[in-house]
Amino acid sequence: MVAAGVAKGNPGMIELASRRIVVTGGAGFLGGHVVAALRRRGCRDVFVPRSAEYDLAEPAHVRRMYADMRPDLVVHLAAVVGGIGANRAHPGEFYFKNMAMDLFLLEEARLRGVEKFVALGTVCGYPKHAPVPFREEDLWNGYPEETNAPYGLAKKMMLVQCQAYRQEYGFHSIFLLPVNLYGPGDNFDPASSHVIPALVRKCIEARDANAPDIVVWGTGNASREFLYVADAAEAIVLATERYDGPEPVNVGAGFEIRIADLAALIAKLTGFQGRIVWDASKPDGQPRRRLDVARAERHFGFKAKVGFEDGLRATIAWYEKNR
């Protein structure tokens, strides 16, 4: 099927505009940007299954979604996900629902002859003490950081399924490993948000209340890499167009920043002038995160474009406007 509809001038490239494409999670933070990027490619038939109508952890709902939408391509972004607190509170739910979604969506895609399945994993699947920068070859060389291991392992099993289906059935699926995302439209709920939106909200609320300090989880010594959400969306669409291999591919910006430095930067950009108090009784999570991003550039030409401070300013401005 791929050969019949490849883009002119590139025998390995899928021409997306003519395809029926399902984007699971397409109404979410990343998904909205992916749908917009597909629209910019001229894609007209883009379908987003909504959770109110299709529970993708239920096989009957998955079968009905495929029957209703009849996709040529599936971009699977849907996940049950959250920050350290949410992972600690719901390890069983995060494991089961992610495993179930991934398992049923891939199997039904195979049975229905879907042309290509784009699977999104997570940096949380890497071993806790993987050498930095994280290289795809190190993905299996240890157990993930404990606070998010059930989620990380559930998503990593999708890579096993993708590779097994490629080997036995010749099924075209790819597996991408994005780093922590941020940007306008992120989740700012303190119960489930990741570190950047959590810090933005804390700083702005403390600034507006003239509070003398904010309390932040951990020691501040852990480091993270962040990728602007619009850059991540572009990477996913490029991979959908251009990449068809069994190896997982990191998607990131190729830098890291200490959480203490991140908090200070967000305080400066939001105008919060109080103290930052570290609650070392709470976990730091994985000690360091930074990806080796050479494979993405080599295989589908992706390189992050949005500078980190520019991305933070856009995120802060969005929250100030929409809170």
What gap in Å lies between CA 283 and CA 141, rounded to an integer?
A: 23
d(CA 3, CA 215): 56
Cis check: omega of the bond before 184, within 30 degrees of 0: no
Positions marked active-site: 151
Residue from 65, 66, 78, 21 nearest 47 by CA: 21
How far is 292 from 285, CA to CA, in rounded Å?
20
Place of tokens 């480091």: 223
- Does residue 179 contact residue 251 with C-beta atoms inside 8 Å? yes
**C-alpha distances in angstroms, 106 versus 57, 74, 122, 160?**
12, 9, 17, 11
What are the tokens at 311? Answer: 């991305």
Give dist(CA 307, CA 290) in Å, integer: 16
For residue 302, give the 3-state DSSP assignment. coil
Q: What is the DSSP letter of 26?
A: T
Alpha carbons within 13 angstroms on the beta-carbon side of residue 96 total 5
Rounded distance, CA 19 to CA 237, Å? Answer: 13
